[in-house]
Chain A
């Protein structure tokens, strides 16, 4: 893992990702004010008191961005947790069992990959009302196919290796072989797809916030950009900073994904990226 930091891209990506996580976790410490509190005059440009300026209701944009990062990270982590569990389980079983089970699971994976995540999330939120939990469930249950495909491919090739035969010969059960021998070796490749997936989830969450489907109780970067739309002519800072925060977080995760894929297999990097 520490090798990721050796390449300039990997180091930059890891720092951006780490910075995003630190800001999100320490949001309540870093943000000078409540993101919903009206604390200054409206639409003031960036200044020493409000480094990112204030919005139309006199709210501190910097605090909004910091708390928006927290919402973004919360959603992304939860989505990735669901997607990884489902994806790894489906991929491992399909790759290890092979045959009819593999066929069935892969047909299911292809079917799940068809579902347009954004548009499904739109109808779910429109029907059930806004809320982070729905966003997490919808995106989590639709984001696993890429992970499943990569884990399946890795499991398939790893299962034929001698160390797996050896474990078999020693009487290890299938679950033990998968968990202790196969999956740890599949992890580097899976991580590539997972990090690229996380980047796309950040963009989707922001997109949902942007069309007004975010959770009104949890400020989001997309909501901030949406609110900025009406004031483009007068308050450039309202759109610049939230959008830049999203772009930097996504860039960080993509760079980490690239560095990981170069490490996992220098020649195969872009193939994993294509599947994501």
Chain B
């Protein structure tokens, strides 16, 4: 991977971020209602309205307002939450770790299990085990995450009592140290598994078809002919089969956030999903906009990382 490619790819981040900021700006400005009335109330006089309009720069031309807005966003100033009365960025960052914990656990579970299942299915192509994996993958991919979450809460949590139904820790116990970590892991298990299910289905499918394709190639035949052990053969096949999987997983970060938000709602997981839900109910627009910007930024950065990983994994990739 050349430094040139790296720079070119990083340069593409700028217009992408600009695009997202413009989308957010346009959405705010096309909203119904006059922000001056919202700030100054219905019963002010014309002079007061004019004062408010000038004070907040609402009398400036739109392009200028956009630049001011973009500057604020880039400095990390996304305004103050109507409800929490604190900077939005602080409110969001406070909730981010719980969601990231949920998402990374789910992603690690789905990627590792997806590779194992995909390879197993590809090696037994069109036999019962393969068919079972394929059917399970199709069903898993079609199931809405919030519904799977409810069914899991209903059966595995309420039904068996093995898992807690809600929250991130046991409110009756204030554990510390390892006990605390174990408590969080216990609460994490079900939401993470549910979130992993959709991704697992897709990863399994892609790994299966990739490995199947690779197993039919000449280099695998060569590897087998020279007597490589089966595990080494699979490693050869996987190396090529995993390339598209990396792209797809990276490209689904937006969907993963969506899934996390919905699953959190069911399990009362104290992350961004809960924040989104309460902000919808209280119409806390600055928070909702911040969440939109955050997820967009995550998508942009993940795309860059995926492309770089791809170029690093596959030396054939050269960009002119």
Is the C-beta of B187 less than 8 angstroms from some C-beta in chain A?
A: no
Find out whether the CB atom of A212 lies under 8 angstroms from the CB atom of B258.
Answer: no
- Bound-state CA distance A250–B140 (Å) is 11
**Complex alpha-carbon distance, A248 and B209, angstroms:** 24
B312 interface hit (Cβ, 8 Å): no
Q: How far is the CB of A111 from chain B (nearest CB, A)?
A: 5
Judge whether B83 is part of the interface by a CB distance below 8 angstroms: no
Q: A210-B265, A239-B154 are in contact. Are A114 and B20 (CB under 8 A)?
A: yes
Asked whether, in the complex, the Cβ of B295 is within 8 Å of the Cβ of A116, the reply is yes
**Range class of the A interface residue count:** 35 or more
Q: Given contacts A225-B150, A247-B139, are A128 and B285 in contact (CB under 8 A)?
A: no
**Chain A, 167-214, CB within 8 A of any chain B CB:** 199, 203-204, 206-207, 210-213
Listed stretches A33-41, A85-93, A119-127; interface member = A119-127
A107 to B303, CA, bound (A): 14
Q: Is the CB of B138 within 8 A of A116?
A: no
Q: Given A213-B280, A274-B248, does the pair A115, B151 have CB atoms closer than 8 Å? A: no
The residue on A at minimum CB distance from B213 is A267
Contact A246 B144 (CB under 8 A): yes
Given contacts A119-B257, A123-B285, A210-B262, contact A233 B206 (CB under 8 A): no
- Assess whether B32 is interfacial by the CB under 8 Å rule: yes
Across the interface, do A239 and B150 meet the contact criterion of CB distance under 8 Å? Answer: yes
Q: How far is the CA of A207 from the CA of B260 in the complex (A)?
A: 11
CB distance from A260 to the nearest CB of B (A): 15
**Residue A80 at the chain B interface, CB threshold 8 Å:** no
A228 within 8 A of B: yes
A232-276 interface bits toward B, Cβ cutoff 8 Å, 1 = contact, 0 = none? 110010011011101110110011001000000001011101100
Question: How far is B258's CA from A236's CA once the two chains are assembled, in angstroms?
Answer: 24
Cα distance, A236 to B295, chains bound together (Å): 33
Contacts A206-B144, A247-B139, A251-B139; is A114 near B300 (CB within 8 Å)? yes
Contacts of A199 in B (CB 8 A): 142
Report the separation of the CA atoms of residues A111 and B291 in the bound assembly, to the nearest whole angstrom: 18
Select A123's contact among B27, B209, B262, beta carbons within 8 Å.
B27
Q: Do A228 and B32 contact each other (CB < 8 Å), given the known contacts A247-B142, A247-B144?
A: no
Closest approach, in angstroms, between the C-beta of A55 and any C-beta of chain B? 14
CB pair A114 B296 closer than 8 Å? yes
Distance to closest chain B CB from A99 (angstroms): 16
Q: Can you show 30 pairs from A to B with CB atoms below 8 A apart?
A: A9-B138, A111-B19, A116-B257, A116-B299, A118-B258, A120-B23, A124-B27, A126-B285, A204-B258, A206-B146, A207-B262, A212-B280, A222-B146, A225-B144, A225-B147, A229-B150, A232-B150, A232-B153, A232-B154, A233-B158, A236-B154, A239-B147, A240-B151, A242-B147, A243-B148, A246-B144, A250-B143, A251-B138, A251-B142, A274-B244
Q: Does B2 contact A (CB under 8 A)?
A: no
Residue B254, interface by CB 8 Å = yes
Q: Which residue of A lies closest to B165 (CB)?
A: A232
Residues of chain B within 8 A (CB-CB) of A228 are 150
* Partner of B292 from A122, A128, A239 at Cβ < 8 Å: A122
Question: Are B144 and A243 within 8 A (Cβ)?
Answer: yes
* Bound-state Cα–Cα, A127 to B20, Å: 17
Taking CB atoms, residues of chain A closer than 8 Å to B295 are: 116, 119
- Tell me the complex Cα distance, A97–B19, Å: 25
In the complex, whether B283 has a CB less than 8 A from a CB of chain A is yes
Q: Which B residues are in CB contact (< 8 Å) with A255?
A: 138
Minimum CB–CB distance for B29 against chain A, Å = 10
A212 — which chain B residues lie within 8 A by C-beta?
277, 280-281
Q: Are A254 and B299 in contact (CB under 8 A)?
A: no
Q: From A248, which residue of chain B is reached at the shortest CB distance?
A: B142
Cβ of A50 < 8 Å from any Cβ of B? no
A117 contacts partner chain B, Cβ-Cβ < 8 Å: yes
A115 to B299, CA, bound (A): 8
Interface residues of B in 15-32 (CB under 8 A from A): 15-16, 19-20, 23-24, 27-28, 31-32
C-alpha gap A269/B154 in the complex (Å): 37
C-alpha spacing A239/B142, complex, angstroms: 16
Given contacts A123-B285, A127-B27, A210-B265, contact A117 B254 (CB under 8 A): yes
- A274 and B206 form a contact (CB under 8 A): yes
- Residue on A with the closest CB to B155? A236
